[in-house]
């Protein structure tokens, strides 16, 4: 990506040593319009600087397609050009939050911490973004106006603040069509769900209760996937929370940067135990497969199965593995059983000890269940078969009992 990303000063703190807050926009918006009211409320605490997407606001149009990683690198280059190696706090709405996640992965040394607002580690499906990009190529961003108000704002806000809504939609119509379509392409291919665990910076994920574009579960997915996350959901707010609830967003950013919002300790400790017992690859795959439909369940088991029960001091993990395998045999939960055989090895059980667990389960859970458990455990442990060599024909004749005839 060779395009230049332009930065704009949104608020200047009277304190010369005030930290920098770098803020990013949502697709179809200019950062000045989106963040100005929120930035004004943060002016006593931060030097607030915004960046614009290519073809949006102050930034020139894009010359071609770009990825989220390339966009994040262009933002980093613009920031370093202006501020050198001075660290910044970061906050971004929607695609702006996605750029923040990418920066946290690729350029963590630039940031103190990250706030995502109505954002996601994965936005919808590729086809919907491709379809939107095709529409904009054909008919321009003005073709999006009729549907955008309902996605960006709650009906109550639309009726109360029609002036603000009109201004935002006017800016959408002015966005460069090709640049908007290229941003759609970046969103289509963006998926860092499986990499969230590599983000070690403190993260605050803010969601809007009525956001249909990135539902609150998306904020939870971010907060619960990173090492040091926390989540807050704003009631009665849709996708552009920075516009609908600037005071609430500003207050949360200020509190977070001051260290006043503690991480979700139960979820954080549960995720740590889950990764230790099941292995990081398994947990990363589970995180990548999480959807808005399953995210609450994933949060439940992380908090209460792993953060609460598996963390209790009354039993060691070896004992918990033996109990868990027995319960899974009794219930016939075979996919989970295989997973917990591997987990038992990570918890220090030997193959012989796992064999004893299954043998005992044959008495109390039934021989057929134990038989199936042995087959699954044998495969999971990769135990080779015994060397049963067929007898040579001559040996068989020699060894045969002569009285057998």
Contact between 243 and 171 under an 8 Å Cβ cutoff? The reply is no
Residue 399, both tokens: 């060894």
Q: From CA 372, how far away is CA 378, in angstroms rounded?
A: 10
What is the DSSP-derived secondary structure letter of residue 259?
T
DSSP string, 163-229: HHHHHHHHHHHHS-HHHHHHHHHHHHH-B-GGGGGG--SEEEEEEETT-SSS-HHHHHHHHHHSSEE
Say which CATH topology domain 7-263 has: Rossmann fold (3.40.50)
Q: Is the pLDDT of residue 388 over 70?
A: no
Question: Please, how many CA atoms are within 13 Å of residue 236, restricted to the half-sphere of its CB?
Answer: 7
What is the reported pLDDT for 3?
67
Polymer length in residues for the chain = 405
The tokens 């608020």 sit on which residue?
Answer: 11
Q: Is the whole model's pTM more than 0.95, yes or no?
A: no
Question: Which of the residue ranges 93-97, 236-240, 282-286 would you say has the lowest mean pLDDT?
Answer: 282-286
Q: Is the pLDDT of residue 359 over 80?
A: yes
pLDDT bracket for residue 184 (50, 70, 90)? very high
Contact between 243 and 283 under an 8 Å Cβ cutoff? The reply is no
What is the reported pLDDT for 398?
40
pLDDT tens digits, 60-82? 999 999 999 999 999 999 999 99
What is the reported pLDDT for 286?
86
Same CATH fold assignment for domains 7-263 and 267-381: no
Other beta carbons within 10 angstroms of residue 359's beta carbon come to 12
Q: For 84, left (φ over 0), alpha (ψ -120 to 50), or beta?
A: left
Contact between 29 and 168 under an 8 Å Cβ cutoff? The reply is yes
Q: From CA 226, how far away is CA 230, in angstroms rounded?
A: 9
Which runs of consecutive H residues, i.e. helices, occur in 245-316?
246-257, 265-278, 280-288, 295-300
Q: Is the pLDDT of residue 223 over 80?
A: yes
Secondary structure (3-state) at 89: strand
Q: Does domain 267-381 have CATH number 1.20.1290.10?
A: yes
The tokens 């309902």 sit on which residue?
Answer: 150
Other beta carbons within 10 angstroms of residue 393's beta carbon come to 8
Q: Is the pLDDT of residue 269 over 80?
A: no
Domain boundaries, the chain: 7-263, 267-381
Q: From CA 229, how far away is CA 264, in angstroms rounded?
A: 7
Residue 19, both tokens: 């930290």
What is the reported pLDDT for 338?
96
């Amino acid at each position: 990506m060779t395009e230049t990303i332009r930065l704009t000063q949104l608020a200047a703190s009277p304190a010369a040593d005030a930290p920098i807050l770098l803020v990013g926009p949502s697709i179809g918006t200019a950062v000045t319009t989106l963040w100005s009211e929120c930035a004004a409320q943060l002016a006593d605490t931060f030097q607030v600087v915004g960046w614009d997407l290519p073809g949006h606001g102050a930034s020139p149009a894009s010359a071609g397609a770009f990825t989220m990683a390339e966009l994040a690198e262009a933002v980093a280059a613009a920031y370093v050009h202006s501020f050198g190696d001075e660290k910044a706090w970061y906050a971004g709405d929607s695609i702006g939050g996605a750029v923040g996640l990418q920066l946290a992965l690729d350029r963590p040394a630039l940031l103190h911490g990250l706030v995502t607002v109505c954002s996601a580690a994965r936005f919808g499906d590729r086809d919907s973004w491709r379809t939107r990009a095709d529409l904009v190529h054909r008919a321009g961003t003005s073709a999006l106006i009729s549907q955008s108000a309902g996605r960006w704002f709650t009906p109550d806000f639309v009726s109360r603040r029609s002036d603000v809504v009109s201004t935002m939609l006017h800016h959408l119509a002015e966005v460069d069509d090709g640049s908007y379509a290229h941003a759609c392409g970046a969103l289509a291919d963006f998926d860092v769900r499986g990499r969230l665990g590599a983000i070690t910076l403190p993260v605050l994920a803010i969601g809007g209760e009525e956001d249909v574009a990135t539902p609150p579960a998306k904020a939870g997915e971010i907060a619960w996937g990173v090492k040091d996350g926390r989540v807050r959901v704003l009631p009665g707010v849709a996708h552009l929370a920075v516009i609908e609830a600037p005071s609430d967003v500003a207050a949360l950013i200020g509190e977070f940067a001051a260290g006043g919002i503690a991480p979700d300790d139960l979820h954080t400790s549960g995720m740590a135990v889950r990764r230790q017992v099941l292995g990081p690859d398994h947990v990363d795959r589970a995180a990548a497969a999480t959807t808005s439909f399953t995210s609450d369940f994933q949060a439940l088991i992380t908090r209460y199965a792993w953060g609460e029960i598996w963390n209790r001091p009354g039993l060691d993990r070896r004992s918990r593995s033996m109990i868990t395998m027995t319960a899974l045999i009794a219930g016939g939960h075979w996919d989970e059983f295989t997973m917990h055989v591997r987990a038992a090895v990570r918890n220090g059980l030997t193959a012989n000890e796992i064999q004893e667990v299954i043998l005992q389960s044959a008495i109390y859970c039934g021989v057929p269940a134990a038989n199936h458990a042995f087959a699954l455990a044998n495969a999971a442990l990769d135990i080779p078969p015994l060397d049963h060599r067929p007898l040579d024909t001559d040996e068989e004749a020699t060894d045969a009992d002569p009285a057998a005839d």
